[in-house]
Amino acid sequence: MSRVQNAVIGSVRTVVGWLPERWLPGGSPDPLIGRHGEVGRQLGHLDGPLKVTGAARFAAEVPLEQLCHAALVHSPVARGRIATLDTRAAEAAPGVVLVLTHRTMPRLEPVPLISITNMTAVGNSALPILQDPEIRYNGQVVALVLAETPQQADFAASLIDISYDEAPARTRFEAAKPQARTPASILVERNEEAVGDAEAALRQSAFQVDAIYTTPGHNHAAIEPHAVTAAWTGDRLVLHDATQAIAPTAAALAKLFDIRREDVRVLSPFVGGGFGAKGFWDHHVLAVAAARLVRRPVRLVLSREAVFRMVGGRSPTEQRVALAAEAGGRFTALIHTGYSVMPPYGACPEQYTLGSRALYRAQNVRFGQKHLDLDVVPNTYMRAPGEAVGSFALESAVDELAHQMSMDPIELRLRNDPEVHPLSGIPFSQRALAEAYRQGAEAFGWAARNATPRTRREGEWLLGMGCATGSFPYVRMPAGAVRIRLTRDGRASVACSAQDMGMGTATVQSQHAADRLGLPLAAVSFEMGDSDLPPAPMAGGSGQTVSIVAAVAAAATKLTGELLRLAGNASPLAGLRAGEVRLQEGGLVSLADPARRDSFDAILSRAGREDITVTESAAAPLEMFKYAMQSQSANFCDLRVSAVTGEIRITRLLGVFDVGTILNPRTAASQLRGGMIMGLGMALSEEVLFDERSGRIMNAGLADYHIPAHLDIPEIDVRWTGIPDPRSPLGARGIGEIAITGVAAAIANAVFNATGTRLRDLPLTLDKLLEEEGA
Amino acid sequence: MAISINGRDVALPDDPRVSLADLLRDDLHLTGTKIGCNQGGCGACTVLLDGARVLSCLTLAVQAEGRRVTTIEGLAEADQLHPLQAAFIAQDGFQCGYCTPGQICAAEALLRELAEGLPSYVTADITAPAPLSAEEIRERMSGNLCRCGAHPGIVAAILQVAEERAA
């Protein structure tokens, strides 16, 4: 499939490359770009009052009659088989309604895996769920207990007596390397790429860096644990879910439980953080199956430990980056290769080399990734999959090379800033990394940095500054529809099954719809979070906003046509076609002669209509193939390191983002700061501790997996170039993920500047620093 | 005996294993109190017990017998927003909103602790009343995790209310 995919994608690029721009989405810039309206205004989250009063209801908070509560039992071994299983004590415990094991679980097909080509497929794991006595990873669910109360369920789960015949498991990263797989493609890109002879160029160049960078597993650690409340009425299912993928989840459940798609309703109006974790996992299937068996609503809330054990995180990586330059700074070789874990039953490669392919021009390059098969819960996408850890390796190496060459690291980067995509030769739609660095260096006071490490000191504290580039591709999902209902009083409701994990989806889409439909913000509402609405794509790839914007724009065009048709010959606009008018100030206005206008009220009144409703899908995202569309950022860090303890404290962070139009500066700044904070956690403290002997995660809790706390967080300044992308809807490119990229490298580079010690293994903890310095 | 929850007397649960958090959420449907880890690691379940902050997931409901519990639903007067709730909106002190009620309850207790002059880990001089500063707030809020990264807004909101009260 991968090789076929490479051929298909290659053909699409070729064909789209030949097509004239005007035939493509993005061929002529979105007319709303640069127009001053609701888009671009500071607007707080519209759901703020619900969230600060506790009135926002999350998936585990829907009251239902006859509700029963589930508890899970997990395997403590990585491979083997259930030898003995005794559920009698659990079944006899007070309040128990059902004990579900592989003996009693209905037989179900595997869940179709999430894919680029099938937008309704959503599974993260192809492993069977309670279908047999086999154990395939440590933490796998082996039993579910339903009881009248959560306390009764938890207690009964502790009474299930299981013994295992253990089998050898593949749990060691290093040992798996000889059997590593080399996939043909990584997402939509060909995996292995080479131009020239990078190894030879590396050997022959005046300056070179060749190093291994390692990053541990990471956990999304959204504060809301995964939860579902499932209720069947006959063969109809309602699922209250915490999900980033409402419509795909509904489709997957319909297929799995063999019911009609329209008989499944997934509701997810609020999601307590996602970051990639809130996809489709075993708990969906378990809760829905259990609820059907007992004919009662079931609530399943994962324990925090279960979130670590049965929902995958970001894979650990071991990356080689080799970089060489001639004396003038031009890169002669760039090699980025490595290993990450991706079991064959998973679906989400950690694409850590993809960012490097777009970021620099080098005469000779080589890229390629290898997958390690381990017996673990399948890893999944986590905020900026690939780029978050890939940028740590690449941007550390660039800093190392700059130091070796005694060149300013910003200067070295800009000397290798490409004019066109370095591999494909396709032009960038918009790219202003140099401008981001110019703004950032000035705002941050980069000139005050002393390029010689370990030269600035205050008492026990060594001071340092570092910078690094971040990047993330533009993604618009190849699916998605919206419905617009316009009423005679000039109000519109826009609806689709969109998700909000805290980004402000409804807020920004309301702003957009107001501008697109020519209505004041107060006249627009945005409905979402419900699979009964027209299907939106999943929230991922930082692509939800532009995907929905494109669908709303398409629906608005359709609405314009329908209104013109209704307006008829009595209209001042009679004779005009859809392309000759626009939606403005509560009506249609002639583009050529703004005096010719007809209000929505007048049009609908003459037609004897109260309202008009249209549903439309966005055009295929061909702009992604015609142009190289990539966001970039310049990250700066100022920190201090204790010369006594090695403790690293960040003083300030600055990110300057070149991400196209910023739709709402308030929500955007908040989201960008949030991404940088997650990058700070990745740099300094976050690490899934994996016991390679047992295949078990040792720190499966928020007390032991250390995400940044308030006192860890310094002053954070975020800015943007604000240059619209002429090829994307509204000129926007998505901001959910880029802010985490480059942050860890900026911090590691600042640690080097402060101490003269180069750490290439995340997280950057004081023990590693002291050990390196002692060495 | 009963527990006074947001001014209303509530009977103790029959099952002594029921935590205060579960009583609030499952029995009383006061779901503004969140559970993030059920292990005392995240602070999402923070409520006020006789005005002081506690982790309701680590507090058995029976421990609250005869005491006053205030949750996010009981913080404000009638339909008004509590000043902290208004400040969290004004300063973008949240994204997903899940840790928010716990942050706000912790902040209310924090303001009281500061007003009482209680020192913290970052207080330089513990013999004098702790000063009002962003760093004091950061330290005292560090038991309340946020994953969206709304920390700067949270600290700004609390500082805003603290300054309003001090004025």
Q: Is A736 exposed, middle or buried (0-12, 13-18, 19+ CB in 10 A)?
A: buried
The residue type at A137: Y
Identify the CATH number of the domain defined by range B83-166: 1.10.150.120
Residue B32: both structure tokens together: 């503004």
Nearest to A151 among B17, B137, B141 (CB): B17
Tell me the per-residue pLDDT of A139-169, one tens digit each, with 9 for 90 and over.
999 999 999 999 999 999 999 999 999 999 9
Sort strands A524-527 and A581-584 into parallel, antiparallel or unpaired. Answer: unpaired
pLDDT, tens digit, 9 for 90 and up, residues A310-323: 999 999 999 999 99
Could you write out the DSSP letters of every residue in A249-286? Answer: HHHHHHHHTT--GGGEEEE-S--S--TT--SB-HHHHH
Q: Is B6 exposed, middle or buried (0-12, 13-18, 19+ CB in 10 A)?
A: middle
Please, what is the end-to-end C-alpha distance for chain A in angstroms?
A: 48
* CB-nearest partner of B97 from A60, A502, A708: A502
Residue showing tokens 């309301």: A510
DSSP letters of A690-723?
EETTTTEES--STTTS----GGG--EEEEEE--P
A221 touches B: beta carbon within 8 Å: yes
Q: Which of B17, B27, B147 would best serve as a mutation to test chain A binding (most A beta carbons within 10 A)?
A: B147
Which amino acid appears at position A85 of this protein?
A: L
Say if residue B98's pLDDT is above 60: yes
Q: B94 and A713: CB-CB below 8 Å?
A: no
Which residues in chain B have their CB less than 8 angstroms from residue A304's CB? 36-39, 41-42
pLDDT number for residue A235: 96
Choose from A45, A51, A64 for mutation: most chain B CBs within 10 A. Answer: A51
Q: Reduced to 3 states, what is the DSSP secondary structure of residue A162?
A: strand
- pLDDT at site B77: 86
Using a CB–CB cutoff of 8 Å, tell me whether A64 touches chain B: no
Domain range summary for chain B, segments of one domain joined by +: 2-74, 83-166
Name, in order, each residue with C-beta under 8 angstroms of A775's C-beta and a sequence gap of 6 or more.
Answer: none
Average pLDDT over residues B130-144: 95
The H or E element containing residue A426 is: none
Q: Which two tokens stand for residue A765?
A: 């903890």
Catalytic (active site) residue A647: no
Contacts of B8 (CB under 8 A, 6+ apart): none
Confidence of residue B21 (pLDDT cuts 50, 70, 90): very high
Of A221, A501, A713, the CB nearest to B96: A501
Check if A709 contacts B (Cβ < 8 Å): yes
Considering CB atoms only, which of A53, A225, A712 is closest to B85? A53
Contact A45 B155 (CB under 8 A): no
Phi-psi region of A646 (alpha: psi -120 to 50; beta: other; left: phi over 0): left
Structure tokens at A155: 């207690």
Q: What's the confidence (pLDDT) of residue A478?
A: 85
Fold of A62-168+224-272+278-310: Aldehyde Oxidoreductase; domain 3 (3.90.1170)
Q: Which of A63, A504, A673 is closest, CB to CB, to B29?
A: A63
Q: Where are the domains of chain A?
A: 31-55+477-620, 62-168+224-272+278-310, 185-218+314-475+625-774
- Asked whether the predicted pLDDT for residue A37 surpasses 80, the reply is yes
A737 in reach of chain B (CB within 8 A):
no
pLDDT at A703 over 50: yes
First to last CA, chain B: 41
CA atoms of B111 and B161, how far apart (whole Å)? 9
Reply yes or no: is the peptide bond before residue A520 cis, omega within 30 of 0.
no
Q: What are the structure tokens assigned to A699, written together?
A: 């720190």
Cα R_g (chain A), whole angstroms: 27
Q: Could you read off the pLDDT of A49-71 as tens digits, one per residue? A: 999 999 999 999 999 999 999 99
Mutation site, A53, A158, A508, A705, interface B, largest B CB count within 10 A: A53
Does residue A562 carry a pLDDT above 80? Answer: yes
A746 closest CA partner among A733, A723, A762:
A762
Cβ A542 vs Cβ A476: under 8 Å: no
Range A31-55+477-620 has CATH code 3.30.9.100: no
- Check A52 against B104: CB less than 8 A apart: yes
Convert A552-612 into a string of H (helix), E (strand) and C (coil).
Answer: HHHHHHHHHHHHHHHHCCCCCCCCCCHHHEEEECCEEEECCCCCCEEEHHHHHHHCCCCEE
Q: Which one is catalytic: A189, A623, A687, A737?
A: A737
676-705 in chain A: CB under 8 A from chain B: 676-678, 701-703
CA of B5 vs chain A CAs: smallest distance (Å)? 15
A707-756: per-residue pLDDT in tens? 999 999 999 999 999 999 999 999 999 999 999 999 999 999 999 999 99
DSSP A470: E
**CB atoms A711 and B26 under 8 Å:** no
Alpha helices in A295-344 (DSSP H): 304-310
Query: Who's near A324: CB < 8 A, 6+ residues apart?
Result: A201, A202, A205, A207, A208, A209, A331, A332, A333, A334, A401
CB contact under 8 A, B31 and A270: no
**Closest residue in chain A to residue B95, using alpha carbons only:** A502
As a whole number of angstroms, the distance between CA A68 and CA A612 comes to 43
Please give, rounded to a whole number of angstroms, the shortest distance from the CA of A570 to a CA of chain B.
Answer: 48
ipTM for the assembly: 0.98
Burial B121-140 (b: 16+ CB within 10 A, else e): ebbeeeeeebebeeebbbbb
CA distance A195 to A212: 22
What number of CA atoms fall less than 13 Å from residue A682's CA on the CB side? 39
**Rg of chain B's alpha carbons, rounded to an integer?**
16
Q: Does A645 touch chain B (CB under 8 A)?
A: no
Residue of B nearest to A670 (CA): B150
**What average pLDDT does range A661-667 have in this prediction?**
97
The model's pLDDT over A73-130, given as tens digits with 9 standing for 90+, comes to 999 999 999 999 999 999 999 999 999 999 999 999 988 898 766 767 889 999 999 9
DSSP A39-105: TTS----TTHHHHHTT----GGG---TT-EEEEEEE-SSSSEEEEEEE-HHHHHSTTEEEEE-TTTS
Give tens-digit pLDDT for A398-419. Answer: 999 999 999 999 999 999 999 9
Q: Is the dihedral of CA A619, A548, A717, A687 positive or negative?
A: negative
Question: For the residues A350-364, what does the mean pLDDT come to?
Answer: 97
Contact list, B142 vs chain A (CB under 8 Å): 709-712
Distance from CA of B28 to the nearest CA of A (A): 10
Burial string for A261-299 (b: 16+ CB within 10 Å, else e) reads eebbbbbbbbbbbbbbbbbbbbbbbbbbbbbbbeebbbb
Q: Distance between alpha carbon B62 and the CA centroid of its chain, in Å?
A: 20
Q: What does the pLDDT look like over B74-84, one tens digit per residue?
A: 999 888 999 99
The angle, 0 to 180 degrees and rounded to 10, between the axes of the packed helices A665-684 and A387-405 is 70
CB contact under 8 A, B147 and A303: no
> Quick one: average pLDDT of A500-529?
97
| Residue of chain B whose Cα is closest to the Cα of A679 | B149
Query: Phi, psi at residue A366, to the nearest 5°?
Result: -150, 130
Q: Is there a contact between B35 and A51 if contact means CB atoms under 8 Å apart?
A: no
Could you tell me which residue, A1 or A661, shows the higher pLDDT?
A661
Averaged over A260-284, what is the pLDDT? 98
- A301 touching chain B per CB within 8 A: yes
pLDDT, mean of residues A534-558: 96
What confidence tier does A7 reach under pLDDT thresholds 50, 70, 90?
Answer: confident
Contact A747, A467 (CB under 8 A): no
**A292, pLDDT greater than 60:** yes
Q: Using 50, 70 and 90 to split pLDDT, how confident is the model at A481? A: very high
Minimum CA–CA partner of B90 in chain A: A44
Beta bridge partners of A691: A696
What is the CB-side half-sphere exposure of residue A432 using CA atoms within 13 A? 18
Is the predicted pLDDT of residue A525 greater than 70, yes or no? yes
What is the architecture, at CATH level 2, of domain B2-74?
Roll (3.10)
In the Cβ-directed half-sphere of A540, how many Cα atoms lie within 13 Å?
Answer: 24
pLDDT tens digit string along A465-479? 999 999 999 999 988
Strand partners, A181: A371
CA A78, distance to chain mean position in Å, is 28
Asked if the Cβ–Cβ distance from B39 to A273 is below 8 Å, we say no
- CB neighbours of A679 closer than 8 A, spacing ≥ 6? A388, A635, A739, A740, A741, A742, A743, A744, A747
- What kind of fold does domain A185-218+314-475+625-774 have according to CATH? Aldehyde Oxidoreductase; domain 4 (3.30.365)
| Length of chain B counted residue by residue | 167
Same fold, A31-55+477-620 and A185-218+314-475+625-774: yes
User: Is B101 in Cβ contact with A224 (below 8 Å)?
Assistant: no
Polymer length in residues for chain A: 775
Report the pLDDT value the prediction gives residue A363, as an integer from 0 to 100. 97
**Residue A1: per-residue pLDDT:** 46
The dihedral over CA atoms of A59, A60, A61, A63, expressed in degrees to the nearest 10, equals 100
The torsion region of residue A65 among left (phi > 0), alpha (psi -120 to 50) and beta comes to: beta
Mean pLDDT of chain A: 96
